[in-house]
């Protein structure tokens, strides 16, 4: 058997087209959804992400602002930017790109963001709303993207045993929150595994749907996957490869080729979950604009 590909590129572009259509409807009613991204310092990877977010926003017909601040920005100055964006009626959603320079307390910045504009869904108010099943909560983009991949590929989560490896606040925990809700793309039985889990391979083999988000190159081997399971690989890892033009290549947390032989569906890396994140950020910005405008 060779697992079918869960094609993040195709699914993300379908979602972006849906968002653009809905944005056009809102614009014609007088509301242009606006997203701002704040970046502090010059981390090259963050600069690339931020540029892609701005471009995607414009392509969807949204208003986009990128606020670039020097690495020497103080916490008080960044808090003042957050206050300004909280009050700006053109901006329906915004995020502060992480990681922040060490002298800034990320927690304090996050807590200052108005939960109604927190399109990353990391504010504790949104985390709580998501966990109680409030549909107005913003869902963190990466796990929300995984759920959309499953839904749009017709993969049934209801009654399935979903095993998540990784318990981070941005992927593992919100993934569990989404999969356990009584909604489409939910109603799964969820197990979360982490670095202290006993006999992780045995737990992984119990999965109908295995979601892996740990940041360990090719950690999940064929022996850890039940034949017929759906395998979602969130990991993005650089590994040295002298044969590659850049001297490295990108691999996931799953050993793709051997696992594909037993899986029913599998996400490639790259071209899988990573492609979904920006599409879901746009969807959250559209949701924010709708919620704030009542349209």
> Which positions are annotated as active-site residues?
53, 97, 120
Contact 65, 121 (CB under 8 A): no
- Cβ count near 154 (within 10 Å): 7
- Which token pair is 149? 């991949």
Question: Which of 12, 56, 162, 234 touches ligand NAD by CB under 6 A?
Answer: 234
Contact 61, 18 (CB under 8 A): no
DSSP alpha helix (H) spans, 227-275: 256-260
Nearer to ligand NAD, 180 or 236 (CB): 236
Question: Which of 165, 176, 190, 263 touches ligand NAD by CB under 6 A?
Answer: 165
Question: Which of 16, 92, 139, 167 touches ligand NAD by CB under 6 A?
Answer: 167
For the chain, how long is the longest CA-to-CA vector? 57
- Which token pair is 84? 């300004």
Question: Which of 14, 203, 236, 250 touches ligand NAD by CB under 6 A?
Answer: 236
The number of residues in the chain equals 295
52 near ligand NAD, judged by CB under 6 A:
no
Size of the site for ligand NAD (CB under 6 A): 23
Nearer to ligand NAD, 73 or 285 (CB): 285
- Nearest one of 188, 236, 195 to 210, comparing CA atoms: 188
Shortest distance, position 35 Cβ to ligand NAD, whole Å: 17
168 near ligand NAD, judged by CB under 6 A:
yes
Q: What is the CA radius of gyration of the chain?
A: 19
Q: In what order do the strands lie in the sheet with 265-266?
A: 4-5, 265-266, 230-233, 209-212, 161-165, 189-193
277 near ligand NAD, judged by CB under 6 A:
yes
Q: Which residues lie closer than 8 Å to 291 by C-beta, 6 or more apart?
A: 116, 136
- Which token pair is 150? 């499953």
| Residues of this chain, 77-116, that bind ligand NAD according to CB under 6 A | none
| Residues of this chain, 122-151, that bind ligand NAD according to CB under 6 A | 142
Per the DSSP assignment, residues forming a β-bridge with 63 are 34
Nearer to ligand NAD, 109 or 193 (CB): 193
- Nearest one of 201, 202, 174, 168 to 190, comparing CA atoms: 174
| Residues of this chain, 172-211, that bind ligand NAD according to CB under 6 A | 172, 193-195, 200
Shortest distance, position 159 Cβ to ligand NAD, whole Å: 25
Stretch of 96-104, 243-251, 273-281, 282-290 contacting ligand NAD, by CB under 6 A? 273-281
Shortest distance, position 233 Cβ to ligand NAD, whole Å: 9
232 near ligand NAD, judged by CB under 6 A:
no
Q: Under the rule (CB under 6 A), what is the footprint of ligand NAD? A: 142, 165-168, 170-172, 193-195, 200, 213-216, 234-237, 273-274, 277
């Amino acid at each position: 058997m060779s697992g079918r590909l869960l094609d993040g590129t195709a699914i993300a572009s379908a979602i972006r087209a849906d968002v653009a259509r809905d944005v056009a409807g809102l614009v014609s009613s007088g509301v242009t959804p606006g997203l701002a991204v704040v970046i502090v310092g010059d981390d090259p990877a963050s600069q690339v992400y931020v540029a892609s977010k701005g471009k995607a926003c414009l392509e969807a017909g949204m208003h986009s602002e990128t606020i670039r601040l020097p690495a020497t920005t103080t916490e008080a100055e960044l808090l003042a930017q957050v206050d300004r964006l909280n009050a700006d009626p053109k901006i329906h959603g915004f995020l502060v790109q992480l990681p922040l320079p060490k002298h800034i307390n990320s927690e304090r910045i996050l807590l200052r963001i108005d939960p109604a504009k927190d399109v990353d869904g990391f504010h504790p108010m949104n985390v709580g709303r998501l966990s109680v099943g409030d549909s107005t909560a913003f869902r963190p983009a990466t796990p929300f993207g995984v759920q959309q991949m499953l839904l749009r590929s017709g993969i049934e989560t209801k009654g399935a045993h979903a095993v998540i490896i990784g318990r981070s606040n941005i992927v593992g925990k919100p993934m569990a929150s989404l999969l356990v809700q009584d909604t489409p793309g939910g109603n799964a039985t969820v197990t979360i595994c982490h670095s202290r889990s006993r006999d992780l391979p045995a737990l992984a083999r119990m999965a109908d749907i295995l979601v892996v988000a740990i940041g360990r190159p090719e950690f999940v081997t064929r022996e850890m996957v039940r034949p017929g399971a759906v395998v979602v690989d969130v990991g993005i890892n650089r590994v040295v490869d002298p044969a590659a033009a850049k001297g490295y290549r990108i691999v996931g947390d799953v050993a793709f080729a051997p696992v594909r032989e037993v899986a029913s569906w599998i996400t490639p890396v790259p071209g899988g979950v990573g492609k979904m994140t920006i599409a879901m950020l746009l969807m959250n910005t559209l949701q924010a604009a709708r919620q704030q405008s009542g349209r």
